[in-house]
Structure 1
């Protein structure tokens, strides 16, 4: 019973903290949900406190093809220029791990340290999962505010 209550509480927290996002060009996957730590569903911007690590979880479903590899790109738009923060192999951060069969639900988890030296600014943040053919499986944009 205790385990059931914890599971229900965890799922309620996930629903409460779902994030509004812009799909900026997903091709081979359908985004099901995006959750960013500390970001309320109705917030126009996600606060990203300096000196902390912000986590993101994105649930998605592959479409009509198998995906062997995925890499993640994370960028911030600073005064009209997209600045890369990372470009990594995403398969280690996806459950289930790669390869992903067609029509398979999966979850990508990302942790981003927010350096204490980052300036306090509002910044659109874009993250993509790029497949082995260079096609964006997913592409989302969230408004962030470094505080």
Structure 2
């Protein structure tokens, strides 16, 4: 398939996830290829990470990692904050989400950590599988009430 080492890919993926939405939010966006979307990118050496998504309170998107110009790995996701909340609260939830996502690690490389707590907010992520094929779900509760959920799946492209 390719001549990169698994650890090289994993290190790149973690750097890319931390450098884009988790650190900069929508401000990391480059000119999108798809009209109406937001597009985040990070490149280092032969690897390019691209995250394209639509929506805000509820969103759908796809992350793709390219190696030497060829797509090798992808993750699709959809989710968001419950409909009942105003945009000011949604933005606070996403600020907390970005903090959680900055804690992505090599042993849990898909989204954020298994659990991240700050004040009344609790982020949780559960998944099954490995980098080559996986599914998962993340949730956020605020004051013991579920307010956000996201489902994701992906793996290496064969």
Both structures adopt the same fold (TM-score exceeding 0.5): no
TM-score bracket, normalised by the shorter chain, equals 0.3 to 0.5
* Higher normalized contact order (CA 8 Å, seq sep 6+, divided by chain length): 1
Q: What TM-score does the superposition give when structure 1 sets the normalisation length?
A: 0.33
- Higher normalized helix content (fraction of residues): 2
